[in-house]
């Protein structure tokens, strides 16, 4: 086990800057998930930590050792690849014991170590098979086993579940979580699936365009996204955004939509000015469909997606799409006009120009986060 410190990591591929001054401190035993859209630099960052990519500038520390110049083999890490990268010409047993074989560990010792790990992952029956005779889930488990046998300081996972079907993915997610709890090892895990990120991570690092957007525990990122990108990226279905402007009446600020719908009093926010353009975000589960017309907004239903356990209703409001997540079956029909009630305590306000979250007055922000914590509990 070891901590990892990334100081001002920059990486260029020719003229393209893929990582821009990335700073992250990872404690030992921590499960950190790097999440972001395709091409955001998350895999490059992971590969840089592994030593498979040379960084352009910055420092990488594993434990107390600066590893910038160390070859991958000397960094004492294990990596599980998206493709599993099992050696097709070797049996499962040799695949799992490969790292020890390279280190010239005595054969009996390798056999013992492989057997122990195989037992813990339910692979004992498969040890003589070649990778091509395994299913996707079994290959995934062998790849994990191969990483565990080595007992490294740090585990790196590069989108390890993306080749599995949905059901197996959930199952393997639980196995990885259990593995972390059992080994208490430092894990850096790359994924573009934010459900994986939310369920596995102690802390999430959200990346976009090679820049760290936010670092924090999953619920903190979900509840208080720091900018428009994080707000839109984290959460499925993703957050709705309504374009509004700050207006004033009787000394109080409020939000006004493009068609003049008044939304909320804004006494809890700092640095407001009349005419300021605000992007008002609200999560789909924080919108209610009312039977009456007394809601905040009137919208038209575009589509209804029943999933059995819930319904997602897509509505059109002022030319934008709003998604409503309802645990109740609503009987909404396409083209029906509906009245929507927003949970005004759960609005996320972002400056439309900078994309940054509006700062609340400290005492109010504290109350809101307490309210959200009690609501979520």
Q: Which of residues 139-198 bind other proteins (CB under 8 A)?
A: 146, 150
Minimum CB–partner distance for residue 190 and other proteins (Å) = 14
Q: Measure Cα distances from 217 to 34, 40, 224, 270 in Å.
A: 12, 20, 11, 25
Instruction: Tell me which of 9, 18, 22, 50 binds other proteins, using CB under 8 A.
Output: 50
- Closest to other proteins by CB, 1 vs 52, is 52
Give the strands of the sheet with 77-80, arranged side by side.
77-80, 154-158, 186-191, 31-35, 203-208, 211-216
Choice between 6 and 100, CB closer to other proteins: 100
CB of 71 to other proteins, least distance (A): 7
Q: What distances in angstroms separate CA 269 from CA 118, 349, 360, 370, one per listed residue?
A: 56, 9, 4, 17
Query: Residue 198 region, left (φ>0) first, then alpha (ψ -120 to 50), else beta?
Result: alpha
Spatial separation of the C-alpha atoms in residues 325 and 10, rounded to whole Å: 40
- Give least dist CB 156 to other proteins, A: 8
Q: At closest approach, how far in Å is the CB of 72 from other proteins?
A: 5
- Taking residues 273 to 312 in sequence order and writing x for each that binds other proteins by CB under 8 A, - otherwise, the string is ----------------------------------------
| Of 23, 103, 109, 337, the one binding other proteins by CB under 8 A | 103
Q: State in angstroms the smallest separation of the CB of 80 from other proteins.
A: 9
Kindly indicate which of the ranges 26-34, 95-103, 191-199, 211-219 contains the residues binding other proteins, using the contact rule CB under 8 A.
95-103
Cα(94)–Cα(128) distance, rounded to whole angstroms?
9
Nearer to other proteins, 100 or 322 (CB): 100
| CB proximity list for 55: less than 8 A, separation 6 or greater | 9, 10, 11, 19, 48, 68
Q: Tell the smallest beta-carbon distance from residue 155 to other proteins (Å).
A: 11
CB 52 to other proteins: min, Å: 5
Instruction: For residue 299, give the H/E element and its range.
Output: strand 297-306
- Confirm or reject binding of residue 133 to other proteins (CB under 8 A): no
Token pair for residue 323? 């998604």
CB of 102 to other proteins, least distance (A): 4
* 113 is a contact residue toward other proteins (CB under 8 A): no
User: Scanning residues 51 to 90, which ones bind other proteins (CB under 8 A)?
Assistant: 51-52, 71-73, 75, 77-79, 81-83, 85, 87-89
Contact yes or no for 290/328 (Cβ under 8 A): no
Residue 195 burial (10 A CB sphere; 0-12, 13-18, 19+): middle
Between CA 287 and CA 343 the distance in angstroms is 6
Q: Number of C-alpha atoms within 13 angstroms, CB side, residue 21?
A: 0
**The only residue of 102, 219, 249, 364 in contact with other proteins, by rule CB under 8 A:** 102
Nearer to other proteins, 52 or 272 (CB): 52
Cis-peptide into 125, omega within 30 deg = no
- C-alpha torsion angle, residues 321, 322, 327, 331 (rounded to 10): -60
Residue 242 within binding range of other proteins, rule CB under 8 A? no
Out of 99, 186, 191, 194, the only residue in the binding site for other proteins (CB under 8 A) is 99
CA angle 115/121/124 to nearest 5° reads 45
The binding site for other proteins (CB under 8 A) comprises 50-52, 71-73, 75, 77-79, 81-83, 85, 87-89, 98-99, 102-103, 146, 150
């Amino acid at each position: 086990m070891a901590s990892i410190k990334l100081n001002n990591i920059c990486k260029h591929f020719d003229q393209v800057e893929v990582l821009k001054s990335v700073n992250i401190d990872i404690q030992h035993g921590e499960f950190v998930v790097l999440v972001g859209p395709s091409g955001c630099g998350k895999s490059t960052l992971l590969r840089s930590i592994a030593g498979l990519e040379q960084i352009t500038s910055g420092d990488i520390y594993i434990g107390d050792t600066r590893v910038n110049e160390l070859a991958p083999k000397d960094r004492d890490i294990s990596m599980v690849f998206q493709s599993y990268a099992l050696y097709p010409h070797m049996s499962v047993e040799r695949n799992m014991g490969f790292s020890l074989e390279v280190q010239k560990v005595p054969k009996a010792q390798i056999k013992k170590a492989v057997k122990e790990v195989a037992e813990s992952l339910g692979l004992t029956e498969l040890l003589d098979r070649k990778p091509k005779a395994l299913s996707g889930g079994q290959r995934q488990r062998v790849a994990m086993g191969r990483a565990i046998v080595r007992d490294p300081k740090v585990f790196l996972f590069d989108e390890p579940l993306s080749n599995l079907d949905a059901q197996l993915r959930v199952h393997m997610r639980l196995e990885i979580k259990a593995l972390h709890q059992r080994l208490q090892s430092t894990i850096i895990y790359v994924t573009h699936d934010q459900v994986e990120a939310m369920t596995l991570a102690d802390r999430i690092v959200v990346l976009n365009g090679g820049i760290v957007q936010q670092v924090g525990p999953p619920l903190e990122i979900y509840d208080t996204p720091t900018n428009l990108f994080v707000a839109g990226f984290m959460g499925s279905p993703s957050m709705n955004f309504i374009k509004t402007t700050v207006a004033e009446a009787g000394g109080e600020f409020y939000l006004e939509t493009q068609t003049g719908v008044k939304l909320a009093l804004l006494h809890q926010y700092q640095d407001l000015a009349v005419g300021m353009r605000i992007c008002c975000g609200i999560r789909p589960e924080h919108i209610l469909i009312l039977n009456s017309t007394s809601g905040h907004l009137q919208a038209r239903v575009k589509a209804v997606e029943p999933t059995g356990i819930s319904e997602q209703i897509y509505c059109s409001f002022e030319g934008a799409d709003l998604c409503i997540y309802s645990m109740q079956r609503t009987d909404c029909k396409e083209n029906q006009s509906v009245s929507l009630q927003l949970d005004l305590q759960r609005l996320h306000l972002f400056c439309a120009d900078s994309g940054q979250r509006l700062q609340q007055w400290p005492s109010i922000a504290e109350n809101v986060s307490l309210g959200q914590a009690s609501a979520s509990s």
